[in-house]
Amino acid sequence: MDSAAPAVTIESINPKVLGCDYAIRGEIASHAQRLQHELQNKPGSHPFNEILYFNVGSPQSLGQKAITFFREVLVLCDHPPLLDKSETHALFSGDAIARARQILDVIPGRTTGGYSDTLGVKGLRDAVAAGIGSRDGFPANPDDVFLTDGATPAVHIIMQLLIRSEKDGILCPIPQYPLYSASIFLHGGSLVPYYLDESTGWGLEIAELKKQLDDARSKGITVRALVVINPGNPTGQVLAKENQKQIVEFCKNEGLVLLADEDNVYVDDKKFNSFKKIARSMGYEDEDLCLVSIHSVSKGYYGECGKRGGYMEVTGFGKEVKEQICKVAIVNLCFSNISGQILVSLVMNPPKVGDESYESFNAEKQGILSSLARRAKALEDAFNGLEGVTCNKAEGAMYLFPRLHLPQKAIEAAKAVDAAPDMFYARCLLDATGIVVVPGSGFGQEPGTWHIRCTILPQEEKIPGIICRLQAFHEAFMQQFRD
């Protein structure tokens, strides 16, 4: 008997999966892992002795230390018997012990090993809402807060809610974090691009939003939402307060959901303002604007990627719509692991002045943020010092997005191997130096322009050596392909 054909082949799987792309973990990252394996098995097999991962925003993987207070509370919550041991007070700060007891009191069964309520532990959602209110100066309703396993589930559930067919579109920045394009594609919608203006430091222009919205509508696409990433990823810019007000007004007038992916700011002359705060300061209440604000503990000075904690605050949606969000969340039993929920509550309510841990916490936080700013500036200056490279300033997040002005011979060499020019450059950089970056084509870019995205996360003491490697490679590359 002839063997049966495989039940699943590449031709028979969902075409939306085939078309989905996530460049950060794509071809360059896979090649880097092969090179790392070769270095481990045959030292000296390449002109470098380590792979330097500039492609993924995973701070602690690259040496950033966890915040002590957060980890103390997590340890005590994960192993409550420690709270009853006399020696615990010699090892842990008093406010960490008190916070752990407080948190365990609101968790069902006083354990991090069980399921929580679907939307998150009620007491932890209360704490997050209180933190939002303290940050913004406007009250937050715990019933609007959904605790999630990082930002990704929040994005997926909102796309599931809004996208009914390919005729539903989402306005999305270009360049953009590929989670958004992938999610829109997987859920069967249409990405409606709006281009950030590189010449003005990646500015978001309302005229560009209006142009792309009108163009999409003329093609029969119903645009449902506007995605704003602030600070930008991969671009690192921070929106001005007046610009945020224009964006709020635009969404209100056009009937769009404002989907705000919000992060940390570390430059002295810029301040983080949530879109919720901006909308409330303009006098808008819940019923005036549908707003989804997404935060993740993977970002910022905390950098707790592996804990998979996050939240979304959903305002302006009617009761029946929110019930549907809850219904989809119920499929997951609980929307977030409990350790991640605890961490979100700590990030939104860190030690305050007068607390035992405040001085050490603040020193750790400010040390990380100031180091990020120094690393960003050093790398920005290095890129701007390279022939044919320009790089805008990073004001927040963890990334730079330099533009490559490549010689025509390099573009032709890339075409000869069926690669985009920025992919070709990134591959050559990796093979020569072990430095892993992401081609800008994985994030979207203006046609005819080429970029790479790199994080600013490697340890600060390694940055000068990395810059030397980069400069030597780039000089040789340009010499090889100079017209």
Distance CA(85)–CA(71), nearest Å, equals 18
Sequence-distant (6+) residues with CB within 8 A of 398 are: 57, 59, 236, 299, 372, 455, 456, 457
- Neighbour-count burial of 363, counting CB atoms closer than 10 A to its CB (0-12 exposed, 13-18 middle, 19+ buried): exposed
Count of residues in the chain: 483
Cis peptide before 43 (omega within 30 of 0): no
In the chain, ranges of CATH 3.40.640.10 domains? 104-348
Cβ pair 264, 233 in contact under 8 A? no
Residue pLDDT tens, the chain, 483 long? 456 678 888 788 787 776 666 555 578 888 989 999 999 888 888 888 889 988 888 888 888 999 999 999 999 999 999 999 999 999 999 999 999 999 999 998 999 998 888 889 999 999 999 999 999 999 999 999 999 998 899 999 999 999 999 999 999 999 998 889 999 999 999 999 999 999 999 999 999 999 999 999 999 999 999 999 999 999 989 999 999 999 999 999 999 999 999 976 766 667 889 999 999 999 999 889 999 999 999 988 899 999 999 999 999 999 999 988 888 877 765 668 999 999 999 999 999 999 999 999 999 999 999 999 899 999 999 999 999 999 999 888 889 999 999 999 999 999 999 999 999 999 999 999 999 999 998 899 999 999 999 999 989 999 999 999 999 999 999 999 986
Q: What is the DSSP string of 77-120?
A: HH-GGGGG-TTHHHHS-HHHHHHHHHHHHHSGGG-TTS---TT-
Q: Which fold has domain 104-348?
A: Aspartate Aminotransferase; domain 2 (3.40.640)
- What angle, rounded to 10 degrees, do the helices at 94-106 and 338-348 form? 130
Strands 52-53 and 435-436: parallel
Phi, psi of 362 (to 5 degrees): -65, -35
Q: Are 441 and 423 in contact (CB under 8 A)?
A: yes
DSSP string, 127-174: HHHHHHHHHHSS---GGGEEEESSHHHHHHHHHHHH--STTEEEEEEE
**Token digits for 3?**
């063997």
Helix (H) / strand (E) containing 260 = strand 257-262
What is d(CA 182, CA 159) in angstroms, rounded to the nearest whole number? Answer: 11
Asked if residues 441 and 422 have their Cβ atoms less than 8 Å apart, the reply is yes
CATH topology assigned to domain 15-46+363-481 = Aspartate Aminotransferase, domain 1 (3.90.1150)
Residue of 235, 255, 98 whose CA lies nearest to 173: 235
Chain position carrying tokens 């964006």: 247
Name the token pair of 214: 């009108």
Delimiting residues of CATH 3.90.1150.10 domain(s) in the chain:
15-46+363-481
Which pair of structure tokens corresponds to residue 309? 């904690």
Tokens of 234: 């991969």
